[in-house]
Chain A
Amino acid sequence: MTTTTPAERPETTADGARADERLLKTSPLKKLLGRPELGSVVGAVAVFLFFAIVADHFLRAASLSTVLYASSTIGIMAVPVALLMIGGEFDLSAGVLVTSSALISSMFSYQMTANIWVGVGVSLLVTLAIGAFNGFVLTRTKLPSFIVTLGTFLMLTGLNLGLTKMISGTVSTKSISDMDGFESAKAVFASTITLGGVDFKITILWWLALVAVASWILLRTRAGNWIFAVGGNESAARAVGVPLYRTKIGLYMGVALGAWISGQHLLFSFDVVQSGEGVGNELIYIIAAVIGGCLITGGYGSAIGSAVGALIFGMTSKGIVFAQWNPDWFKFFLGAMLLLATLLNTWVRKRAEATT
Chain B
Amino acid sequence: MHEFERRFGELVIQYRWLVIIACLLLVGFMASGAKHLSMTTNYRVFFSEDNPQRMAFEALENTYTKNDNVMFVIAPEDGNVFSKKVMEAVYELTEKSWQVPYSSRVDSLTNYQHTEAEGDDLLVEDLVEDPALLTEERLAYIRQVAVNEPLLRHRLVSDRAHVTAVNVTVQLPGINEATETPEVVAFTRNLAAEIEAKYPFIKIYMTGMVMMNNSFSEASQNDMKTLVPLSFLIMMVMLLLMLRGFAGTALTMVVIILSVIAAMGAGGHIGYPITPPSATAPTIILTVAIANSVHVLVTFYHYMREGMDKIAAMIESMRVNLQPVFLTSLTTSIGFMSMNFSDVPPFNHLGNMVAIGVMMSFVLAVTFLPAVISLLPVKVRVHHEKGDRLMLSIGNFVVNNRRKLLPGMTLLVVVLVSFLPRNELNDVFLEYFDETIQFRNDTDFTVKNLTGMYLIDFSVESAEPGGISNPEFLQEVEDFANWFREQPETLHVNVFTDIMKRLNRNLHGDNDAMYKLPDERNLSAQYLLMYEMSLPYGLDLNNQINVDKSATRMVVTLRTLSTNQMIALEKRSSQWLQENAEFIKAAAASGPTMMFAHIGKRNIISMLAGTTIALIMISMILIIALRSFKLGLTSMVPNLVPAAMGFGIWGMLVGEVGLALSVVTSMTLGIVVDDTVHFMSKYQRARRESGLNSEQAVRYAFTSVGRALLTTSVVLIAGFLVLALSSFKLNSGMGLLTALVIALALIADFLLLPPLLMKLEEKSNEKDTAVAPAS
Decide whether A and B assemble into one complex: no
